[in-house]
Structure 1
Amino acid sequence: MNHQPDQERALSDHLTELRRRLMLSAFVVFAFFLIALPSVKYVLAYLQADLVERGLELNAFGVADPLMIYLNLALVIGLVASGPFLLYQLWAFVAPGLHPNERKATLAYIPIIFILFLIGLAFAYYWLFPLVLDISTDLGQDLGLTQIIGASNYFTFLLQLTIPFGLLFQLPVVTMFLTRIGVVTPYFLSSIRKYAYFALFVIAAFITPPDLTSHLMVSLPLFFLYEISLSISRITYRGVLRREKEAMVKEQMDLMKQMNEK
């Protein structure tokens, strides 16, 4: 008879906890945003270096463009810098519903996720972005076009190109987690390899210029990333089987011990 009030109280507690963690996360992001403000002009100068080397310059077509670029970039820096804290808050919210061994395992994912995200950003910025810039510049010269680059469009395009790769580089850790909880197995991942390759090939087509060379130069690292994920799945799956076997042996020994005691 008292289940309903208990459920409502538990839901209220969860919502209160969620609101508290969201407010704390927003405060930390805002703090990093303020800290990032003085460094934005140096980051902007660094991000424009590729254009300067190509003899190009950015133009502000809107009155508020410089201000919006400045604030948006500071916000992006703040979000990236606060990434580990945000991931920890997410983990802390779901941790009470996990077993002790699951809590320890998922907590270890936080630095891995953050490092892979940074590697994905670095790959996209130092490998993919110059490639796209060279192809676009060369194509413009071949067509006899004068490129007048808007600052707002330039940085929007930069973020749209780099952030997805930061997310795509989460594939190994996602695969590890899904294998650990039994959602996927290395045999399943091997069986869908050709479909996964096709999906990654399509994704590469969306984020690269319509050029076969650049398409392949992006697709091949994604295929390699999938193979790394498959290898990680195999290692994780062997660990899962070993733990299950150890648990079964322990259970049998406990059962035999109880029978002997009787």
Structure 2
Amino acid sequence: MALVPRRRQGPSKFQQAADGSMTLIDHIRELRNRLFVASLGLLVGLIVGFILSKWVFHLLEEPYCRLPSSISVRADGKKYCDFVVLGVGDGLIIRLKIALWVGVIVGAPVWLYQLWAFIAPGLHRHERKWAYIFVTIAAPLFATGAVLAYEVVGHSLSFIMSAGVLGEPTKLEVGSYLNFVSSMLLLFGGAFEFPLVLLMLNFTGVVTARRLLSWWRIVIFLCFAFAAIATPDPGPFGMTLLASCMILLYLIAVGIGFINDKRKGRGREIYADIDDDEISPLEDDRVPVGAADPIAAPSPLDAPTPVHKPLPLEGRFDDMT
């Protein structure tokens, strides 16, 4: 049995994009294909989100349904959580919004991979390695912040409604309530990405961990200021909880920065122990300037090569040109 030689494959698209051999048209074609695949992932996620939308809505309405004022009784005596609905199509629009949110999360592995596969060839190997690490850390941090926001909303909603001019909790409009909850989830999730910014500054060599630790007063003030603005509860519970979590994450990021600085040998430079305002000494190492070396006379240039006489006009071109 004769062995068929294996056909030698050419470089992959990743290698072509990394070494710069891919043309502009190939880049545009690759972007089109990756956008199409990402759209398919979002479409599948949207379908899954539409199926799970009622379950997600019941999960989001739980803090509101804990309030006694949100419970109503049907004619048959069964209790249910009651919202105020102002528009005819509000229920369907809210379900589509929830389906879109869930679809973005469910389809994240697809569209994030397509985005990464398009931009990764332009990065160095160590940049791709750190991007993997930061993305792996960012997802659980955002999820932790969202869970904390859910708990804060559950504890603060009763106080917010009873502290108003009406003096007691009332029924809420379903659209405004979901916008409020989703905004809190995004704010808390984004706040938990704060240590990643500090780690990026440290790992790229912009600031050292010692410099980050010297900013602790400013960081604590900014954490409490952000928590006071972001949390809906005017009381100290939500603000203190969010600010404490951000400060804890800041200290963890500084600790990781110290480990990274020790690994890279930062802080052992020649000017590490010198104050920033101290003037560096200048050594007086004057060297006397002597006479310059003599310049040799220029050598004559060779005569130019004679130019041949051009061919006649009818002999320069063929029948096509």
TM-score (norm 1): 0.78
AA aligned to 1:236 is N
Supply the distance in 2 between the matched residues of 1:213 and 1:87 (Cα, whole angstroms): 36
Q: Work out whether 1:153 is the aligned partner of 2:179.
A: no
Partner of 1:222: 246
| 1:152-207 alpha-carbon deviations (Å, 9 max, x no partner) | 00000000001122122223333333322223321231222222222222211222
Supply the distance in 2 between the matched residues of 1:114 and 1:144 (Cα, whole angstroms): 40
Larger radius of gyration: 2
AA aligned to 2:148 is F
Q: What secondary structure is seen at the aligned counterpart in 1 of 2:265?
A: helix
Instruction: Give, in angstroms, the shift of residue 69 of structure 1.
Output: 0.7
Query: Structure 1: 5+ residue runs without aligned partners?
Result: 1-6, 243-262
Q: What secondary structure is seen at the aligned counterpart in 2 of 1:164?
A: helix
Q: Work out whether 1:51 is the aligned partner of 2:64.
A: yes
Contact 1:117 1:166 in 2 (8 A): yes
Which region of structure 1 is more displaced relative to structure 2, 167-176 or 36-45? 167-176
Cα gap change, 1:105 to 1:219, in 2 (>3 Å): closer
Contact 1:83 1:114 in 2 (8 A): no
Q: What secondary structure is seen at the aligned counterpart in 2 of 1:148?
A: coil
Supply the distance in 2 between the matched residues of 1:176 and 1:78 (Cα, whole angstroms): 30
Supply the distance in 1 between the matched residues of 2:162 and 2:258 (Cα, whole angstroms): 44
AA aligned to 2:197 is V
Instruction: Give, in angstroms, the shift of residue 12 of structure 1.
Output: 5.3
- 5 Å matches for 1:5-24? 13-24=26-37
Which region of structure 1 is more displaced relative to structure 2, 153-162 or 190-199? 190-199
- 5 Å matches for 1:3-42? 13-42=26-55
AA aligned to 2:177 is Y
Cα gap change, 1:26 to 1:194, in 2 (>3 Å): farther
- 5 Å matches for 1:141-220? 143-145=166-168, 147-208=170-231, 209-220=233-244
Partner of 1:68: 93
Q: What secondary structure is seen at the aligned counterpart in 1 of 2:160?
A: helix
Contact 1:84 1:114 in 2 (8 A): no
Supply the distance in 1 between the matched residues of 2:26 and 2:222 (Cα, whole angstroms): 41
Cα gap change, 1:237 to 1:46, in 2 (>3 Å): same
Supply the distance in 1 between the matched residues of 2:203 and 2:117 (Cα, whole angstroms): 19
Contact 1:176 1:229 in 2 (8 A): yes
Cα gap change, 1:19 to 1:131, in 2 (>3 Å): farther
User: How many percent identity over aligned positions?
Assistant: 31
Supply the distance in 1 between the matched residues of 2:237 and 2:158 (Cα, whole angstroms): 12
Q: Work out whether 1:124 is the aligned partner of 2:155.
A: no
Contact 1:87 1:110 in 2 (8 A): no
Instruction: Give, in angstroms, the shift of residue 50 of structure 1.
Output: 2.3
Query: Structure 2: 5+ residue runs without aligned partners?
Result: 1-19, 71-81, 267-321
Cα gap change, 1:213 to 1:173, in 2 (>3 Å): closer
Contact 1:40 1:73 in 2 (8 A): yes
Q: What secondary structure is seen at the aligned counterpart in 2 of 1:58?
A: coil
Supply the distance in 1 between the matched residues of 2:86 and 2:260 (Cα, whole angstroms): 52
Q: Which has the higher contact order (CA 8 A, sep 6+)?
A: 1
User: Number of matched residues?
Assistant: 234
Instruction: Give, in angstroms, the shift of residue 71 of structure 1.
Output: 0.5
| 1:130-173 alpha-carbon deviations (Å, 9 max, x no partner) | 12213214325x84345120000000000000112212222333
Supply the distance in 1 between the matched residues of 2:47 and 2:115 (Cα, whole angstroms): 23
Contact 1:175 1:232 in 2 (8 A): no
AA aligned to 2:193 is Q
Partner of 2:301: none
Supply the distance in 1 between the matched residues of 2:194 and 2:109 (Cα, whole angstroms): 18
CA RMSD of aligned residues (A): 2.6
